[in-house]
Amino acid sequence: MENTQNILVNHPMQSLEWGNARTAMGVEVIKIESEGKLFQMTIHPIPHTPYAIGYIPRSDIPNKSTIKLIKDIGQKHKLVFVKLEPYAPYSDNGEYSISSHPLFPEWTQTLDLTPSEEALLKKMKPKTRYNIRLAEKKGVVIREMSTDEGYDIFEKLYFETCKRQHYRGHTPAYHRILWNHLKNTQSHILIAFFGTVPLAPYELLIFKKKIYYLYGGSSLLHKNVMAPNLLMWEAIRLGKKSGAELFDMWGSLPPEYSDSHSWAGFTRFKQGYGTQFFHLMPSIDIILHPILYKMYGVLHLIREKLL
């Protein structure tokens, strides 16, 4: 039986399991119910100050009464501002303060999973379809290993990829806690093998008839067998078998992107599967202390330049 919180929210990051994972990480989690919707906010103290920042990821768009409620709660917790990154189509209505330092990209790519597998293959770009068939012919095998053993393989390849690509992500402890809280409900591990060698893993979430690409990694070994292409196809098939009607590939450049951008490769990779670009609401800041907010913005900019 689905818990009450998950009935009220529309994204895994707002789910009860995700909130419990954040609590297990030592992060304070506040649940705000307003007009039949729930907004799960995490509290992040600003070091060496009595202040903190609130964060509400992938929620509904709050209306004016909800924003007032968020502000009231924020004042009690000495929040400088609350960052919201709604999971909703882009709307430029001028009512919100757009953040200059977002955490999520505004764009993602989605794939309608309701057509048949044959129709989905036909919709793909020819090169993608060819690479899927090539991987099958070369003997690449995709296994679902939604177990601790599978997670260990995922974790190793994921952090190897982060190091190789100079990506500053979350810590191993963060990922492990998240896995432990989602593994029996939402999280699935798919791994591409060439013989006994794991070449590429995905951690996927399935929530409310949607499948989400959460994290992925890859090996530098046997790149010629095109394992990631077959892995993504099997992720699509897993979504269909699980009753998902939409695949959200989590992040992307906008449609008119530059080939020189560091994200161009995976944006083009996702495009190959016949996806649609989807423009999400931008990052929104609800400002409670304007002067402190400006100071935070300056310090954040300096930090970004130094790292």
Evaluate if residue 304 carries a pLDDT over 70: no
CA distance 160 to 147: 20
* Range 120-143 average pLDDT: 98
pLDDT at 96: 77
One of 3.40.50.12500, 3.40.630.30, 3.40.50.10130, 3.40.50.1440 is the CATH number of 107-279, namely 3.40.630.30
The domain spans of the chain are 4-103+280-306, 107-279
Tell me: the pLDDT tens digits for 199-218?
999 999 999 999 999 999 99
Three-class DSSP category at 44: strand
- pLDDT tens by residue, 104-131: 999 999 999 999 999 999 999 999 999 9
Do the Cβ atoms of 39 and 73 come closer than 8 Å? no
CATH number of the 4-103+280-306 domain:
3.40.630.30
Mean pLDDT score of the chain: 95
Shared fold status for 4-103+280-306 and 107-279? yes
Beta-strand ranges (E) seen in 79-132 are 79-85, 107-112
C-alpha distances (whole Å) from 142 to each of 128, 136, 193, 228 are 17, 10, 6, 10
Sequence-distant contacts of 44-52: CB under 8 A, at least 24 apart: 46/80, 46/296, 50/78, 51/78, 51/79, 51/80, 51/289, 51/292, 52/77, 52/78, 52/79, 52/80
pLDDT number for residue 84:
96
With a cut of 90, say whether residue 1 has pLDDT above it: no
Portion of the chain with pLDDT greater than 90, in percent: 90
Burial class (CB in 10 A: 0-12, 13-18, 19+), 25: middle
